[in-house]
Every structure is written in structure tokens, then in C-alpha cells.
Amino acid sequence: MEQVLKKRFETLRLGEPWVRENLTLIPIMAEQGSGPRYYEMLDEALQGGRLEARETSEGGSVNQIKVINKGDKPVLILDGEELVGAKQNRLVNATLLIAAQVELVIPVSCVERGRWHHTSAAFSSSEVFGYSRLRGQKAAGVTANLRMYEVFASDQRAVWEEIDRKQAAMGSHSATAAMHDMFVDYEAEMEKYTAGVETLPGQVGVMVFVNGSFNCLDILGHSDALSRLWSKLIKSYAMEALEVRGDKPSYKAPQPEQVWQQLCQARPVFYKSPGLGTDFRIQTDSYIGAGLIDSEQVLHFSAFPVMNDTNAVEGRIARPSRRRRNQGYYLD
């Protein structure tokens, strides 16, 4: 499994950066073409009626929802994708591949603390993604709980606290403390960053810098998968840039090639995914990341900086009732 990841990294290279104000996007290019995509993306399956996402029951569960794949292909749901509606909006905790003709309960985080009633029977896909800092904090919580116990649980309190911090910093108000409302408030401002920015032929990922510092990395298994998610992803990157526009850029931060080399050299730890394939995690003093491997393909890999302030990406462990021992495994 580790060789699959290593070989994938070896086929990728960094492209020429695109810069707008304090946001820098560095395309990650595949040196060889991807084979046919054997899975559907979340939006494709939901819009085509081949996937349903609902609360686990009438009473619901804050950190779990149920997905029903009625189609003949697996469906890929990415770590950080938002589902809106039902009793409250949620963010998916890990990248998952849902097998065809399967009903599965999946781990999620609440990103709308102030609502717990149905606005719709089922979830629909959001036009936005979780922003990078929130995704990194969520990944830290999930990784901590996987390392200690076999649960894909985030630190829900930390997720809510981070959304509160972000909304205060952005001057955004939501009656239900919904992350989604912040994107609605800043739609016009985000357009200044996102207008006219498209993916390139052969591009499968992006490395993001904000004010000169590494902010996020996303790599997909197929260029078509990236292009289908691009409008969501770039909004999430723009949301990060908007918060700190006007701040002084960092000239001492690691440069793209340094970040890339450190991520490629980090040793992954593997866990059984709730869906198909194998979940993997990396954690160093500087970076935290997660992804999914299936059929000897890296379907998704995301990475974030470890924060060193009071909102640091640390992650608290799950409450005792959810604990199950699991140390993961390395592969030599």
C-alpha cells in the first residue's frame, strides 16, 4: 500500500503558480494520463438520483448520517465535502468510497450548531467545501481518534469553536451558526479570486499558499474528478485568503518544493475505511494529511499545516463510549 502512494507521488510534478492578490495556486500535474474513472462523484450521484443521504433515523445523530447508493458504480465522497439540509448541515470526516447497491452510515461533523430540525427530508450537495483551516482541524481530531481508538470521529467542539472564530474574524453572522452562510455573505468577494480560474489539462491537484504560507494541498485520482470539484475547492481557498488579506506576507515560510518533498517523505499509517479501500494518514511536526487508496489508486489526498496558536490543530480524543483501541499499521 505504501508503494502505491510512493509511485503516485513520483508521477506528479508542480506546475507554474497562478497568483491573485494574496492567494497562490500551484497546479499539481500528472506526468501520465489517468485511466477511466470507475466511480461517480457525490454531486453526479445525488443529482442523478443514484445516491441518497439522510439522517440515520427520525431522531438523527449529530456525527453520523446514512447514505444509500442505488447505482451500479461506487460513489466517491471527499473529506471536507458539505451536505446541506435534513436536521443540520454536515461536513464529511474522511474520504469514502461507497460501494454500489449499499447502504452505509458515515462519519460527519456538524457545521450548523444552531439548528436541529428538518428543513428537508434528505441532504443535498453544497456548492462549497469546508475551508482549509477547518478541514485541517477536523483532520487532526479524526487522526487522533483513529490513532487511539477505531473511530473516524472529529473533535466536534473544536469544529464549532473554529467556525465561531472564523465568523467573528470575517464579521459574518448566521442565525444558526452555519458555516455555509459565511460563503453566502462573501460570494461577491470570493468572485474576485475565483473568476476565470480553471483547471489545466492533466491537472490532478493543487497546492495552496496564502500570504506566502502553505495553506492546503488537494490531490485527486483523476483530472476529471478535480475539474468537477474545482468550483467548490477554489471558493474554500478564497475564503482563507479573504480572512487575512492586508496582512503582511511571510517570507520565511517553506517554499512549495520544500513542502512537497516533506509531504512525499512522510510515512503513512493505514486504517480500514468505513467504505471501500484503505484510509491513510500522515502526521509530522509541520503537516497533517489524510487520503484514500482503492484498487491501487490514490483517490484523494489532502494535507494542511499544523497550527501553533491557541486554535492549534491538535484534536481531542473521543468520549469513552466511542472508544475502541486501534493503532493502525505501517507497511514496510
**pLDDT digits 0-9 by tens, 221-248:** 999 999 999 999 999 999 999 999 988 7
Which grid coordinates belong to 156? 466536534
> For the chain, what is the largest distance between any 2 Cα atoms, rounded to a whole number of angstroms?
52
Question: Domain tally for the chain?
Answer: 1
The answer to the question of residue 6 being in a domain is yes
Which grid coordinates belong to 22? 494574496
**Contacts for 325 with CB less than 8 Å, ≥ 6 apart:** 148, 149, 150
The answer to the question of residue 187 being in a domain is yes
Give the type of residue at 59: G
The answer to the question of residue 312 being in a domain is no
Q: Do 24 and 208 touch, CB atoms closer than 8 A?
A: yes
- How many Cβ atoms are within 10 Å of 223's Cβ, its own excluded? 20
Give the type of residue at 211: N
The answer to the question of residue 316 being in a domain is no
Q: Do 88 and 140 touch, CB atoms closer than 8 A?
A: no
The answer to the question of residue 122 being in a domain is yes
The torsion angles phi and psi of 22, rounded to 5 degrees, stand at -100, 15
3-state secondary structure of 103: strand
pLDDT tens per residue, range 137-192: 999 999 999 999 989 999 999 999 999 999 999 999 999 999 999 999 999 999 99
The answer to the question of residue 72 being in a domain is yes
Using CA atoms, how far residue 218 sits from 26, 65, 209, 236, 319, in Å, is: 11, 24, 12, 12, 30
Using CA atoms, how far residue 118 sits from 41, 57, 58, 132, 178, in Å, is: 25, 12, 9, 28, 15
User: Is the torsion defined by CA of 127, 275, 35, 16 positive or negative?
Assistant: positive
CA gyration radius, the chain = 18
The pLDDT, as a whole number, for residue 34 is 66
Give the type of residue at 295: S
| Domain interval for residue 173 | 2-306
The pLDDT, as a whole number, for residue 80 is 98
The pLDDT, as a whole number, for residue 309 is 54
Q: Which residues of the chain have pLDDT under 50?
A: 310-317, 319-327, 329-332
The answer to the question of residue 185 being in a domain is yes
Number of helices (H) and strands (E), helices first, in the chain?
Answer: 8, 18
The answer to the question of residue 213 being in a domain is yes
